[in-house]
Amino acid sequence: MQRTALRRVAATAVTLVALGAGALATAGTASAAGKNGGLESGEFGLYYNSDQGGAVWDLFVEDPNFWGERFPGPGNGTYELVNDNTASYNNRDSNRWWVYTDAGAGGYEGSLPAGYIGNASATFKNQISSAYYYKGR
């Protein structure tokens, strides 16, 4: 009976270690996504040019302040500042994203539903300074 209990404890420990390693591997992959210049499923992309042209800045998580961030490329706008320098979007995330004309969810607020692809309106074109996958304010 004691042997059976030890086997169960050992089997449970092995299972927990395997699950923990799997969770870490998944977390590592997820945190590596975004801001790499390639718009992947589950990301929100802001483009340097209209009609999803030029370099893309892809977000996997919110960014409350674009100051100092640069388009990684490739394409027109590579290495240009992202802050107040985006003209179109592609929301490949399953969540709605909100964009703001000021850092910290300040200024004008725009809402982009999951799957949205389009150009920024006159209010937002080259004016966006923060973005959230939840309502920022």
* pLDDT tens-digit readout, 20-79: 444 434 333 444 378 999 999 999 999 999 999 999 999 999 999 999 999 998 999 999
**Poorest-confidence range of 23-27, 30-34, 103-107, 121-125?**
23-27
Q: Helices marked H in 63-125 — which ranges?
A: none
Mean pLDDT of 109-127: 98
**Amino acid type, 68:** G
**pLDDT of amino acid 29:** 41
Buried b / exposed e over 123-136, threshold 16 CB at 10 Å, is ebeebbbbbbbeeb
Q: What is the pLDDT of residue 10?
A: 44
Share of the chain above pLDDT 90, in %: 72
Q: What is the mean pLDDT of the chain?
A: 84
Question: Looking at residue 1, what DSSP letter applies?
Answer: -
- Pairwise pLDDT comparison (94 vs 17), residue with the higher score: 94
Beta strands in 27-129 (DSSP E): 44-49, 53-59, 88-91, 97-102, 106-112, 117-119
Mean pLDDT, rounded, for 7-14: 44
- Average pLDDT estimate for 103-110: 98
- Residue 2: per-residue pLDDT: 53
- Percent of the chain whose predicted confidence (pLDDT) is above 70: 77
Does the bond joining 113 to the residue before it have cis omega, within 30 degrees of 0? Answer: no
What is residue 21's predicted lDDT score, i.e. its pLDDT? 41
